[in-house]
Structures are given as structure tokens and as C-alpha cells.
Amino acid sequence: MTDLLEDADFRGGARGALRPAEVVRLESVRKVYGGSKNAVVALDEVSVGLRQGGFTAVMGPSGSGKSTFLQCAAGLDRPTSGSVVLDGVDLGSLGERELTRLRRERIGFVFQAFNLLPALSVRENVGLPLRLAGRRPDRSAVEEVLERVGLGGRLGSRPGELSGGQQQRVAIARALITRPAVLFGDEPTGALDTATAREVLALLRETVEERGQTVVMVTHDPVAAAHADRVVFLADGRVAGTLERPTVDRVAERMTRLGANGAGR
Ligand SMILES: Nc1ncnc2c1ncn2[C@@H]1O[C@H](COP(=O)(O)OP(=O)(O)O)[C@@H](O)[C@H]1O
Ligand SMILES: [Mg+2]
């Protein structure tokens, strides 16, 4: 991983000319839930690399393993077999405490349900990951990240006083405050109306383009996926292809072929 590769990828100008560094690598990942009698294979020999500074969407029919993929990639869950290397660290080599620390310090999460703490102010919610990591939240850093997501004027508000889109922007600010190697989102726009979802997607796009942030987002919405620069398709726990520079039409067409909109599902 050289600076040259990362810089080239950040600027976008040399994208494709050089092979950008991978910030996450899953190799032969299997995830089986349940025991021998009721085993469900959620991920079946998944091997995929995610580029530093890239915006990747993970798509597939319901039950295809998207959430499991994200949880394994982000160290929230451990694969049954195979390996996950994140930010140069083999997650399988870490004990629980080390894994928890890595999640806190190197990974950001955004969920469909914003998961903000209702009793805390916007400022306190965003500073929370730093407190959990034993650090005193730097006021100016918290204010700066809230400014970036367009909520510089709502520092003292409670989540309940904000719209859904604003709450998700607070959640994104909270996920970015530790400067994570990867920002993971599981259906981050799933609870938002179309216009608000677009604002949140534009914000994610902006963090990729302006900050070189790596973003990995699970979605079932072709419009959301078209904001990414690459789509990884899953079907029945396997990688069913990828699409570079996706458009809404091409994503929708692939999803139809995967049976997502068909009568079979
Ligand atoms: N905790 C769990 N216990 C048992 N089965 C699970 C669990 N989580 C997911 N599964 C199963 O694994 C498969 C993949 O699930 P999931 O990753 O949630 O798919 P997606 O997010 O694409 O809808 C599904 O068959 C689901 O029922
Ligand atoms: Mg899911």
C-alpha cells in the first residue's frame, strides 16, 4: 500500500490505470448459521476486495447474504471459515477485546434505524464514539464534522427534534468522527423518503470524493446503488458478479436477472 496508489485513487484521475489498494479483503468466506440439522449457509466461499477510497454498493435479493456480508466484513460477526483482512489486519487473528477496539477506532457504521441516543444532544451523540474509545471529544472536530453534514446549527438539538434525514446525517457524522478506514452502511437510506435518501447518498458520495473515505453500503435500491462506483451482487450467498460505474438501468436489469423482482422470490 503506497501513498502513490492511494493518492491516485483519491483523485480519481488515475482510476483504472493503477490497481488501487484494497482496504478490505474477504477470502473464501463462509458463514453458516444454526446447527447441523437446521444449518443455513448465508455466505458460501465469498472472495472479494474493496478498494481504498471507493464507494461500493452490495446488492442482491432478500436473503442473499448482504447483511451477513457486511457484518463479516466489518468485524461485527466472525465467518465460519475463510479470512477477512481490514485495514491491513487479519480479523481472525484478533481476540474479542482487540476486535472491539478495532471496530471502535477503525470502522464506522450507519444503520437503517439511525440508532441515535434520544437523551443526548446532537453534539453528544457525535462525540460518543470518542468517549467510548476513552478519548475526550474534541469540540472543534465534532463541530467540523457536523458542519460537513450540514448540521452545524443543530449542535444542541435532541434527535427527536430532527427529521429522519437529519438524524441519519447525525449518524453519519458520528460514524465519521473517528476517521474510520471504512464506513459501512446497511440500508442507510431504507427508512428515508426518496428526496431525503438522495441527500444522504449525495453526502456519502461527497465524503468519498472530497475526503477519500471508503464507503461500503448494502442496499436493495438501484437508485442508491447508482451513487456507488462499483456494485457487488450477491445471490444465494455467492458473488454473482460486479458492475463498474453503475447506472440505475444497468443495476435494475442485473437485479431482475438475479430474480429479485421475479415471481420466484
Ligand atoms: N442470526 C441468524 N440465524 C439464522 N439464520 C440467519 C441469521 N441471520 C441471517 N440468517 C439467514 O442467512 C441468510 C442471509 O441473511 P441476510 O444476510 O440477512 O440476507 P440479506 O441481508 O441479503 O437479506 C438468510 O437465509 C437468513 O435467513
Ligand atoms: Mg439485510
Ligand nearest to the CA of 60: 1
C-alpha cell at 224: 442508491
Residue nearest to atom 7 of ligand 1 (CA): 33
CB-based contacts of 170: which residues, under 8 Å, 6+ apart?
114, 116, 122, 125, 126, 146, 149, 151, 159, 162
Whether 190 lines ligand 1, by a CB cut-off of 6 Å, is no
Q: What is the pLDDT of residue 260?
A: 64
151 or 8: whose pLDDT is higher? 151
pLDDT of 1? 41
Query: Measuring CA to CA, which residue among 233, 94, 103, 241 is closest to residue 181?
Result: 103
pLDDT at 73: 97
Cell numbers representing residue 246 in the block? 453503475
In short, whether 71's Cβ falls inside 6 Å of ligand 1 is no
Q: Which of 68, 216, 218 to mutate to test the pocket of ligand 1 (most atoms within 8 A of CB)?
A: 68
Would you state the pLDDT for residue 259? 80
**Is the CB of 265 inside a 6 Å radius of any atom of ligand 1?**
no
CA-proximal residue: ligand 1, atom 24 (nearest): 63
Task: Answer yes or no: is the C-beta of 68 below 6 A from any ligand 1 atom.
Answer: yes
- Whether ligand 1 lies within 6 angstroms of the CB of 34 is answered as yes
User: What's the chain's average pLDDT?
Assistant: 89
* Long-range Cβ contacts of 245-251 (<8 Å, 24+ apart): 246/57, 248/222, 248/223, 249/222, 251/59, 251/222, 251/225, 251/226
Instruction: Name the residue with the closest Cα to ligand 1, atom 27.
Output: 63
Comparison of pLDDT for 2 and 126, the residue scoring more: 126
Q: Which numbered ligand comes closest to the C-alpha of 62?
A: 1
- 152-180 pLDDT tens trace: 999 999 999 999 999 999 999 999 999 99
- Residue 194, sorted as left (phi over 0), alpha (psi -120 to 50) or beta, turns out to be alpha
Which of 10-19, 79-88, 169-178, 247-256 has the weakest average pLDDT? Answer: 10-19
Which residue has the least CA distance to atom 13 on ligand 1?
A: 42
What would the mean pLDDT of 178-189 be, rounded to a whole number? 94
112 lines ligand 1 (CB under 6 A): no
Give residue 75's pLDDT band: very low, low, confident or very high (50, 70, 90): very high
The average pLDDT across 117-140 equals 92
* Across 55-77, average pLDDT: 96
143 C-beta neighbours (distance < 10 Å), count = 15
Whats the size of the chain, residue-wise? 265
Phi-psi region of 245 (alpha: psi -120 to 50; beta: other; left: phi over 0): left
Task: Assign 119 a pLDDT band (cuts: 50, 70, 90).
Answer: very high
Q: Which CATH architecture has domain 22-261?
A: 3-Layer(aba) Sandwich (3.40)
So what's the pLDDT on residue 20? 65
* Ligand 1 pocket member 33 (CB < 6 A): yes
Asked if the model's pLDDT at residue 6 lies above 60, the reply is no
Whether 63 is in the pocket of ligand 1, judged by its Cβ within 6 Å, is yes
pLDDT band at 14 (very low <50, low <70, confident <90, very high): very low
Sheet holding 214-218, edge to edge: 107-111, 182-186, 214-218, 55-59, 230-235, 238-244
Quick check: 4 pLDDT over 80? no
Domain residue limits, the chain:
22-261
User: What count of other Cβ atoms lies within 10 Å of the Cβ of residue 137?
Assistant: 17
**Share of residues in the chain with pLDDT > 70 (%):** 90
pLDDT tens track for 195-213: 999 999 999 999 999 999 9
27-58 tens-digit pLDDT? 999 999 998 889 999 999 999 999 999 999 99
**Closest atom of ligand 1 to CA, residue 65:** 17
